Amino acid sequence: MIIPVRCFTCGKLIGDRWEEFARRIKTGENASDVLDSLGIKRYCCRRMLLSNVEIIDEVLRFYEEAEKRKEARNFY
């Protein structure tokens, strides 16, 4: 859904690194290098960022569409 706050296994705070990670991956940087430069050393924490899918963006779209429909209905 949304990036977990801490690593499931060791409890390191990783939530605050997600946005930088996602941004730099998008520019085509190598994931392993990005994780190294963010100071995420253990593989338990690395998989948290590597395997995360931000579904919340997609779920929010359902809400937005529903709101638009409501608005349209009120308009007519």
Partner 1 sequence: MKIEVLEKNETNLRLIIREVDVPLMNALRRIALAEVPSMAIDEVVMIENSSILQDEIIAHRLGLTPLKTDLDSYNLPEECSCKSEFGCNLCRVTLTLDAEAKEGTRTVYSGELVSENPEIVPVSDRVPIIKLAKGQKLKLEAYARLGKGKAHAKWQPVSMCAYKYYPKIEITSKNCENCTKCVDICPKKVLAIKDSKAEVRDLLACNLCMDCVEACPQEPKGITVAWEKNAFIMNIESTGALPPERVLQQATKILDKQLNEFEEQLKVEET
Q: Which residues bind partner 1 (CB under 8 A)?
A: 1-7, 10-13, 15-16, 18-19, 42, 56-57, 59-60, 63-64, 67
Q: Measure the CA–CA gap between 56 and 68, rounded to whole angstroms.
A: 18
| Number of residue whose CB is nearest Zn ion | 7
For Zn ion, the binding residues in 47-76 under the rule CB under 5 A are: none
Q: Measure the CA–CA gap between 75 and 41, rounded to whole angstroms.
A: 55
Q: What's the closest the beta carbon of residue 76 comes to Zn ion, in angstroms?
A: 53
For 47: left if phi > 0, alpha if psi spans -120 to 50, otherwise beta; the answer is alpha
- Binding span for Zn ion by CB under 5 A among 18-26, 34-42, 56-64, 66-74: 34-42
